Amino acid sequence: MKTVFFGTPDFAVESLDAIVRSSHEVAAVVTVPDRQAGRGQKVVCSAVKDYALEHQLPLLQPERLRDPQFIEALSALDADCFVVVAFRMLPEVVWGMPRLGTFNLHASLLPRFRGAAPINRAIMAGEKETGVTTFLLNHHIDEGNILLQARTPIAADETAGSLHDRLAAMGRTLVVQTLDGLATGTIVPRPQEGEPCPAPKIFKDDCMVDFNHTAAEVDRFVRGLAPYPAAVTTLVNPKGQPVTFKLLRCAPLVEAHNYAPGTLVCDGKRSLKFATTNGFVAVFELQMAGKKKNSTEDFLRGNTLSGWNSALLP
C-alpha cells in the first residue's frame, strides 16, 4: 500500500523504518518544522526528519495542518492509508483523506492510558502489563476503534526508558502487521472496551517527588520518570541555599523509623536515602543541578551532604 507517515521523536523512527523495509511504500513523511532550541538557539530538526533525509524520503513540514498548500500536497499523493506515531492531533480534513483511513500507534493497551504520557503513567500507576495499540483516528483523542494490540509485562524494576525502547520495537512490528491486515481486508476494527484511564502530559511541576507516599509508590514515581524528564527533589545546603537533585535510580526499603517523610538520611560515604511513610527509598544514581549524573557512591566520594536538609521539612 501507499502510505504517508506522520511522526516526530525517536519512538516514531522505529515504525517508519519498519514500513520502509516492508512491502509497503512511504510516499511522504510529515514531521514538525525545525525549531531553535538550547542555550545557543541552534536549529534542531526531529528524529523522523533525520531518518527521512538519510533515506531520501519526500518530506513535508507544515506549520499548520490545515494549510491549503499542505492539504493539496497530501491529496496529490493519493495514499491508501496514513500512519501516525507520536505526532500532534490531526484535523478531520487530514485523517479523513485516505481511502482506508488513518491509524495511530499508541504506547498502551487502550482504553488504558489515553493521552501524551502513557509509558510514564503506566509505571507510576503500578501497572503489571502494558503494550501497544493501533487504532483508527476519529474526532476524539485516543478513542477510535482498535485494529491490533500487542502486550508485554512491566518488570518490577522497569524504567520509562527501558519500556520506551521495548514498546518502540513492538510497535514497528504491529504497524506493519496493521498495514498488511488493512491491505488484505482481514482486520475488523472493534470499539474500545473497559475503563478509560488518562495519561496527561508531564510538566516540570509534575516531576517533584512527594515523599508522603509509601516507599514502593515513590520508587514507581522515580522509575516512571527515568531517565527523562527525571524525578526531582530539592535539598537545602548548610548556607540555606536550595539545590535541585534528579533522582535517577532508587529502590524501596520497608523499615520502621521515626523520621518525617522527606528526611534525608546519609551515612556520608556510600548510602543515601529518603524517608517515606512506611520506610525509605535508597538512592543509587542521582544528578545535582549543573553537574553530571553519578552513582551515589561516586557522588559521595567528592561531595558531602552533611548538614543538608530536605526543602520539604520546616
Task: For residues 278 and 135, state if they share a domain.
Answer: no
Domain presence at residue 190: no
Q: Which neighbouring-strand residues pair with 232?
A: 208, 246
CA-nearest of 183, 150, 155, 153 to 169 is: 150
Based on its alpha-carbon atoms, the radius of gyration of the chain, rounded to whole angstroms, reads: 23
Is the Cβ–Cβ distance between 131 and 118 less than 8 Å?
Answer: no
Whether 266 and 296 map to the same domain: the answer is: yes
- Kindly state whether residue 198 falls inside one of the protein's structural domains: no
Looking at residue 306, its pLDDT comes to: 85
CATH of the domain at 52: 3.40.50.170
Using DSSP's 3-state secondary structure scheme, residue 204 falls into helix
| Confidence category of residue 42, pLDDT binned at 50, 70, 90 | confident
Q: What's the rounded mean pLDDT across residues 230-257?
A: 95
Are 137 and 269 in the same domain? no
C-alpha cell at 167: 514498546
CA distances from 140 to 92, 143, 191 (A): 11, 6, 13
| Assessment of whether the complete model's pTM goes beyond 0.85 | yes
User: In the prediction, which pLDDT does 199 show?
Assistant: 98
First-to-final CA distance of the chain: 63
In a domain, 34, yes or no: yes
What pLDDT was estimated at residue 253? 96
Closest CA to 7 of 23, 37, 28, 25: 28
Confidence of residue 115 (pLDDT cuts 50, 70, 90): very high
Choose between 307 and 76: higher pLDDT: 76
pLDDT tens-digit series, residues 177-219: 999 999 999 999 999 999 999 999 999 999 999 999 999 999 9
Kindly state the average pLDDT of the residues 76-99.
97
CATH of the domain at 283: 3.10.25.10
Does residue 150 surpass a pLDDT of 90? Answer: yes
Give me the number of domains the chain comprises: 2
Nine cell digits for residue 117: 504520557
pLDDT of residue 314: 65
- Do residues 128 and 227 both lie within one domain? no
pLDDT (mean) for 215-232: 98
Q: Range with the lowest mean pLDDT among 22-31, 40-49, 90-99, 100-109?
A: 40-49
175: which residues sit within 8 A by CB, 6+ positions away?
Answer: 15, 18, 19, 83, 85, 105, 134
* 94/90 Cα distance (integer angstroms): 6
Alpha helices in the chain (DSSP H): 10-20, 47-54, 68-77, 92-95, 118-124, 160-184, 215-224, 296-302
> pLDDT per residue over 11-28, tens digit each?
999 999 999 999 999 999
- Residue 116 to residue 42: CA distance in whole angstroms: 26
Judgement on whether residues 269 and 158 belong to the same structural domain of the protein: no
The answer to whether residues 264 and 147 belong to one domain is: no
Three cell numbers written together for 99: 481511502
Q: Return the closest-CA partner of residue 70 out of 90, 85, 50.
A: 90
Percent of the chain with pLDDT over 70: 100
Task: Kindly state whether residues 71 and 160 are assigned to the same domain.
Answer: yes
Residue of higher predicted confidence among 305 and 56:
56
- Rounded to an integer, what distance in angstroms lies between the CA atom of residue 147 and that of residue 144? 9
> pLDDT tens for residues 46-66?
999 999 999 999 999 999 999
Question: Among 38-42, 57-61, 131-135, which is the least confidently predicted range?
Answer: 38-42
Residue ranges making up the domain that contains 72: 2-184
% residues pLDDT > 90 (the chain): 91
- Residue 65 inside a domain? The answer is yes
* Residue 160 sits in the same domain as residue 263: no
Within a domain: residue 195? no
Q: Are residues 242 and 156 part of one domain?
A: no
pLDDT tens digits for 261-279? 999 999 877 789 999 999 9
Q: Is 191 a domain residue? A: no
Helix axes 10-20, 47-54, angle to 10 degrees: 30
Measured distance CA(216)–CA(83) in Å, rounded: 38
- Does residue 229 lie in a domain region? yes
Is there a domain that residue 193 lies in?
Answer: no
